[in-house]
Each structure stands twice: as C-alpha cells, then as structure tokens.
Structure 1
Amino acid sequence: MKFYNINNHKEIISFKQALKIGLGKNQGLFFPSFIPKIHLKNINEILDMDFINRSSYLLSLFIKDEISSKDLIKIVNKAFNFPLKLVNIKDNIFCLELFHGPTLSFKDFGVRFMSQILNYFTKQKKIIILTATSGDTGAAVAHAFYNINNIEVIILYPKNKISILQEKLFCTLGKNIKTIAVQGNFDDCQKLVKQSFEDTYLRNKVILNSANSINISRLIAQICYYFEAFAQISKKNRNNVIISIPCGNFGNLTAGLISKSMGLPVKKFIAATNSNDTVLRYLKSGIWKPKKTITTLSNAMDVSNPNNWPRILELFQINNWDLNKLSSQSISDCITEQSIIKLYHQYEYITEPHSAIAYYALYSKIKHEKEFGIFLGTAHPAKFQNYINKILKITIQLPIVLTNYMKKENLSYNFPNNFTYFKNFLIKNYI
C-alpha cells in the first residue's frame, strides 16, 4: 500500500518511507491510499483469531507488500507481549484496560510496534527520533527504543507540567535516550519538533523521525486493540457498541475511526476531552481556533492543537461521513475528580484522570440498556499515586517497575522555548 501526504497529495510514498520520515512536506501527515475493507460476514472469523495472529493480519493489510507475514508475526509478538483486559464496571459499562504494558500506558502498543518495525527496516544509517510528550508518550518511546542500535532518541516535555513519576520513567535511562525539559507547554515542545523537521539544514545533515502519534506506524498499531475489544464482547452485543475515548492528540480516536471504516461495527465514538476543547468548539462553530493550552489533572491531554485532527477530517471526507455526528464532550477537573471518587465508592474501581474523563462522557451519553459502553483506560492509576491517594484516602502501592525508577537520578537538560537554542544542541551533538 502507498501513503500520501494530506497537505500535498502528490507526495506518495511506501510504508517504509512513511515510517522513516514521519512527517511529509509542509508538515503534512501521511494517510493510507485506501482503507482496507473487511466484509461484515468475515468480521466474526477475524474476531475468533487470537490477538497476535489477528493483529498481524490487520497490519498486513497496510504493509504486506513490504514485509513477509512470517516476519510481521515475529514483530507483533515482540511488540504486543502484554495483556489487555475488558473489565466490567457496572451493568453495560466496561473499561478496556490498555495500561498493562511496560510503562503502564496505552502508548506502549503503538510505540513498541514502531520500535520493532523501525529496527527491522534500519540497517547502518543512524536515525534520530524527536518526540514531544505531555506525559505518557515519553516513557513509552524511551523504553521501546532503549538500547536499540543506530537509533538516538530526544524527548522534549514541558518543565514542571508532568507528574514526577511520569518524568522519572523516561528521564533516568540515559545511553541513547536524551530528555529535555522545555520552559513552556506541550504545544511549544511539539512546535520545536515540527520546526526541526522543516529546517533544511537539519534535514540534509541527519535522518530525523518522530515517534509521536503523527507516525503512521503508531497509528495503525492502535487499530488492533479496537478489534480485540470486540473479540472480548459476546456476539449479541457487537452491534450496539459505543466507545468513549480520552482525547489529547486524537491519535486514539483516529485509529478507532479507521477500524470502523475497515468494517468494525462500532455504533458511535465519543471524543472526550478536558478543558482544552478546540475540537468541541470546532464541531459546534466550524471555526478552528486553538486557545492557550490549559493545565489540567489529565496532563497527557493538555493539547490545544491536536496533531491528528487533519487525519480525522480526511477520513470523514473520503467516507462521506457527517462530521456533525461525531460526539464530543469537554470535562472539567471538578467533574473528573468526582468521577474518580464515584467509580471507587460505587463500583470499587480505581482509575485516573484521563480514563475518568472517558468514563464520564460515556456515562452521560449512553441512552439505554441495550447499548454496550466501553471507555478506554489509558494509564495505570499508580502513575498518579499521590493525587489518587489524596482524593480517595487510600494507599495505592506502586508496581515494582515504578518504584525502581523513582530512586534514579533525573538526567534531563533544561532548555528555553527557543528553536535556535535547540537546533544548536542538535548540531553540536549529532552532526
């Protein structure tokens, strides 16, 4: 399959090329030349497959011309070597727990697949991966690429705007992982990454890539867990599924919509955001007007200019879907906290801010008992230990993997929000 640049349809490249360059000309995102279709009568057969073989099959629909089925199964087996669980919260509301990977975040799926497949394609040339994070992406990227030959990783994050635990998970590794605390917000970090890709001198001197959700490999990997969610649902409920997704950069929602476009019978998606409500306001007014990013409890979603939104617009256009039918809701910190408390006291379920936002949006929009509601659990509550302990008046024990990293030294650099400063750092260390 070929992939085209949304901002320049004449730029058409292979999956391998899209994987390696990440972002196209004019900061354009790559998109599949077509969405593979699975006939409804074949959906149940695919859902009867185990997770690894099903995922390998789904991914092969996008990249089968460039990698053998045998090698792809090996890659998927290495990348997706942890469970995902569909947990019943109450009656017809379930949580799809995606945080059982090595960094306790849903982002382990996309980033680990990207690292394995990039390692497969990479030969002797060194690749530099630039990534901005508002929380969990940093840890997932750092751990997925740690100690992989010929790949250097630079992660930028907003100083003092992520939890100490999130910071420790990816700022203590060293070796081929460098981390930079930027005086600014996530959008500032994202802008520095994009400016680097647009800089002619840097592009001519080094091979740059990004492990953010803009990379097509991460996006298609996320398709796999939507199919797995349906595989864990009884056949009688598969036509009434509503999925609520906590949205920051909107990669998760994009993957879900691609799954629907492929043939997965999702009845409705809910785009649940925090107070950074650019998309919600756009759906109401038709005007794209990002505001200054607001710091919230759900810090990984503190994004006012979501990168993947152009892909969603592209998907709606090629499918001739009505954008007005996309449901979205903005949830305040107050409601987020109330939802965490409610889930614990009423259902004995412990969650964290991002997942709580998705839960509330689902709970408030699900209409009747025949609807089967799923909200995505995107991060382990232990990653927000101090906050959860405080509001629930309990003590969450940190998993051993987190405890060990809390003891390590933070190796981050501290940078101003200045592209020239960052560019000089890249030139000094990598050219």
Structure 2
Amino acid sequence: MRFVSTKGRAPSATLSEALLEGPAPDGGLYVPERLDALADAEVSALRGQPFTVIALSLGRRLFGAEVSVEELAPLLEAALDFPVPLVEIEPGVYCLELFHGPTLAFKDIAARVMARLLSRFVSAGRPTTTVLVATSGDTGSAVAHAFSGLPGFRVCVLYPRGLVTEAQRRLFTTLGGNVTAVAVDGTFDDCQRLARRAFADPDLRRCRPLASANSINIGRLLPQVFYYFHAWAQLPDAVAGVRRADRVVSTPSGNFGNLTAGLLAKRLGLPVSRFVAATNLNDVVPRYLRTGRLRPRTSTATISNAMDVGDPSNFARILHLYSGGDDPLAALRRDVAGHAFDDPATRAAMRDVYERRGYLLDAHTAVGYLGLKAELEARGGTGIVLATAHPAKFVDVVRDAVGIEPSAPPALTRSATLTERIVTIPDEYAALRDLLDGMRQ
C-alpha cells in the first residue's frame, strides 16, 4: 500500500513515511493510492466476528506488507481492548457506541492503533518525536492517553481556552509526564492553523522529529474504517439481509475525518447505500452539497463543541476521492447527504429520545440522530448513527436538555481529583514555536 497527496505534488509514500510525515511535503493530505474492494464473500465472512478479527482483516489490506500479520494481530488486540456495541434505540435506528474506551470518545480507537503503529516504525536511538495535536474537545485526550508514557514520544495538545468542557479538558490536562496541555487564546480553527504552521516550518522540523496525531495524519484515519464494518457485522440478520440501498449511516461531522473513513469503507465494500454528514451550525459541507460552493468561515460555538469547525481539513480528502469522472459533485451527492441542526433542535432530540426510549444521547450523537432521521424520513430504510462521545463528558448540556445528570464513568471520576497542568499562549505562532523549542531542552 502506498499513499499519495491530495495536492498531487509530492512523491508517493509508504505507510511508515506517511505516518511519520503527517501532512505531505506539498501541504496536502495523504490518501491511499488505490483501494481494492473486498470480495462479497470476504465481506460476508465478517458477519458476527469480533471487532479485532474484523480490524485484522481490514488492517492487512490498508496497512500492506509493512506490518506483518504476526505483528498486527497483537497490536490490535492491545489497542482495541474495550467493547464497541451496536444498540437498537428505536425501530430501524441503531447506535454504534464508540465511547467505551479510556477517554470515552470514538477517537480512542484510532489514536490507540496509531500510537502503536508509530511506536513500531520509530527506530531505536531516534531523537524524541513530538506529537503535535489540535483539539476541539475529544482528540486531545484520546491522543494524550494513547501516547502517555510511550518511550520516544512527547505530546503537545493545543486546545481553545474556555471552549472545551471541564470533563474533556481534565482527561488530558491531568496526565503530566510526557504530555503538555496548551490553552490557546482562540478557537479550534486557530489551534489547527498553528499546528499546520508548525508542520510547514522547515527550520522547526530540522530541529526535531514532529508527528501529527490529528486526523490530517493518515494513521488516525485508517483505523476508523474498522468500526464501520463492525457496525454492519452486528446488525440483525433480518436487517443485514435487506437491500444495500436501504442502509444508511449517519456520522456526526466536524473536521470530517470520521466521514472520510466511512467513504473509504464504502470503497472497500461496506454494504451501505449512503452516508449523512450531520453537522451543527458549522454547516460548510452541507452548504457545499447544496450549492456546489465551498466557503470555509470562522467557526461558531455550539453545545456540540467538538464539531465546531469552520474550515474542515479532511474535506480535501473527500474531494480527492470524488475527483474522477465527469461530475464529481453529483457523484458525491449520490453517496452523501448533508444536514445541519441548531442547538434548540439538538436539545429537543436529546430530550425526545430519552423520554420515548430511555436512551441518553450526547449533543454530538443527537446531531447525528437528527441527520439520520431526516434521511430515513425522506428515503426510508434502516440506519446506523455513530455515538461519538459518552454523555457524562457533557454534564451541563445533558442536564439542560434532559433534566438529569449522567453518572460519571471511573475515568471521569478519577481525572476530576487530579491536578491540572496547563500552559497558556496567545494565538501567535511565535509563542508556539518558543514553547516547542523549550520542550526540546
């Protein structure tokens, strides 16, 4: 397997090169050079299999010969050591609970696989690699935990000060050790811009190995393909046996890495017809799907804060996937529907599902649920929504919307008692550069 840049001006890369490089040298993002779909029999054989077996089958294809089966199997067993159940929350609507990992968010899955892959590729004696990551809520804690205490790595998490919940923040600001939490006086888009500037700084990269753990890194993206197949593999036989055209997946979308992984899964043979790009008020992509004009803008703060992204970097990968053919936009519209919802609609959905079904949604999953319902009402069928975060990470939002306070899992109870260690910087690249230079000492 080799990987090419979305901008098309960089040499193709191996998996190890792409993981260690992060963005491609031309500023683009790496994507698989080609994807060969699994045979129908191979897909059918995944039905009812454990998550790690499904991940191994897909990982062999996505990672190629650089990681042997003998290495990959225990790596995946160690990384994916928590349940990822599919729950029916109402007739025709299933919820894939991706929040049972150590930081209670879907990003645990990819971050834990990526950390182990990077550790396998980083040679002994190499200078310490700094993993630089920007977070709008959940990425930072997932990456920090995945690399915490891992020899040869130092982690720098950039987050917008005051714009992530206390529960989200404490999961990475209390780790210490090789993890540095950096509060930026700005938005997530500002944090992402600072990180991009660092990766484009040749002087900085000559001084230190630098790795990205945001979804701009292909290593974060590929493992997310696994759980789309895992969701389908858990559907009841009566649902899995219906026409492919009647199955829809709704993905709560902010930076669009998760949806990109779903579209890669579809290219690999995932038996679904369409995806829903479900967003909050930061509706750049749904607007593009309606108008054909992509207009990034400053992000707007919402109660589904991890999706508050006004300039989603991974959409470049989606555009690249659909760049062939006579009418790429029409092809994308056939596979993806865009829906956006404001905070009142999100709160109403959280309350409605809890009162009718006794199932508690966080705000991000509620946006995904609304998008799925809109698509099913328009076209019919059966759908899966990805539950991307545990409701207890958003106590205030859940209490306001539903009127109850979700019980805190042990991970949140533990982090609430620990001391936070935070460095605050202005939204200026010079401040980040000085901080990274200091971390090298």
Shorter-chain TM-score tier: over 0.9
Q: Who is 2:94 aligned against? A: 94
Deviations 1:395-428 (A, max 9, x none): 3221121011112222010100000111112122
Q: Which amino acid aligns with 1:167?
A: R
Q: How far did residue 291 of structure 1 move?
A: 1.7
TM-score using structure 2 length: 0.95
Instruction: Tell me how far apart the structure 2 counterparts of residues 224 and 115 of structure 1 sit (CA, whole Å).
Output: 16
Instruction: Tell me how far apart the structure 2 counterparts of residues 225 and 70 of structure 1 sit (CA, whole Å).
Output: 21
Q: Who is 1:172 aligned against? A: 174
Deviations 1:57-82 (A, max 9, x none): 20111223111101100111111110
Task: Say which SS state the counterpart of residue 394 (structure 1) adopts.
Answer: coil
Q: Percent identity?
A: 37
| 1:323 pairs with 2:332 | yes
TM-score using structure 1 length: 0.97
Instruction: Tell me how far apart the structure 2 counterparts of residues 115 and 155 of structure 1 sit (CA, whole Å).
Output: 15
Q: How far did residue 10 of structure 1 move?
A: 3.9
List runs of 5+ in structure 1 lacking aligned partners. none
Deviations 1:103-134 (A, max 9, x none): 10000011000011111122221211100000
Once the two structures are superposed, the pairs formed by residues 257-406 of structure 1 within 5 Å of their partners are 257-318=263-324, 322-325=331-334, 326-367=336-377, 371-406=381-416
Task: Say which SS state the counterpart of residue 266 (structure 1) adopts.
Answer: coil
Instruction: Tell me how far apart the structure 2 counterparts of residues 20 and 36 of structure 1 sit (CA, whole Å).
Output: 24
Report which stretch shifted further, 141-150 or 50-59. Answer: 50-59
Once the two structures are superposed, the pairs formed by residues 43-122 of structure 1 within 5 Å of their partners are 43-122=43-122
Q: Who is 1:27 aligned against? A: 27
The aligned length equals: 431
- Pair 290,350 (structure 1): closer, same or farther in 2 beyond 3 Å: same
Report which stretch shifted further, 17-26 or 294-303. Answer: 17-26
CA contact 1:7–1:25 (8 Å) conserved in 2: no
Q: How far did residue 283 of structure 1 move?
A: 1.6
Instruction: Tell me how far apart the structure 1 counterparts of residues 226 and 47 of structure 2 sit (CA, whole Å).
Output: 11
Deviations 1:184-224 (A, max 9, x none): 00000000000001111101111111100111111110000
Instruction: Tell me how far apart the structure 2 counterparts of residues 353 and 244 of structure 1 sit (CA, whole Å).
Output: 14
| 1:411 pairs with 2:421 | yes
Q: 1:194 aligns with which of 171, 193, 196?
A: 196
- Pair 292,369 (structure 1): closer, same or farther in 2 beyond 3 Å: closer
Name segments (4+ residues, structure 1) moved above 4 Å. Answer: 318-321
Task: Say which SS state the counterpart of residue 415 (structure 1) adopts.
Answer: strand
Q: Which amino acid aligns with 2:132?
A: L
- Pair 314,337 (structure 1): closer, same or farther in 2 beyond 3 Å: same
Q: 2:162 aligns with which of 160, 163, 177?
A: 160
List runs of 5+ in structure 2 lacking aligned partners. none
CA contact 1:36–1:62 (8 Å) conserved in 2: no
Instruction: Tell me how far apart the structure 1 counterparts of residues 407 and 196 of structure 2 sit (CA, whole Å).
Output: 38
Instruction: Tell me how far apart the structure 1 counterparts of residues 9 and 247 of structure 2 sit (CA, whole Å).
Output: 34
Instruction: Tell me how far apart the structure 2 counterparts of residues 69 and 336 of structure 1 sit (CA, whole Å).
Output: 43
Report which stretch shifted further, 232-241 or 205-214. Answer: 232-241
Instruction: Tell me how far apart the structure 2 counterparts of residues 416 and 78 of structure 1 sit (CA, whole Å).
Output: 38
Q: How far did residue 237 of structure 1 move?
A: 2.3
Instruction: Tell me how far apart the structure 1 counterparts of residues 324 and 30 of structure 2 sit (CA, whole Å).
Output: 15
Instruction: Tell me how far apart the structure 1 counterparts of residues 69 and 254 of structure 2 sit (CA, whole Å).
Output: 33
Instruction: Tell me how far apart the structure 1 counterparts of residues 274 and 355 of structure 2 sit (CA, whole Å).
Output: 28
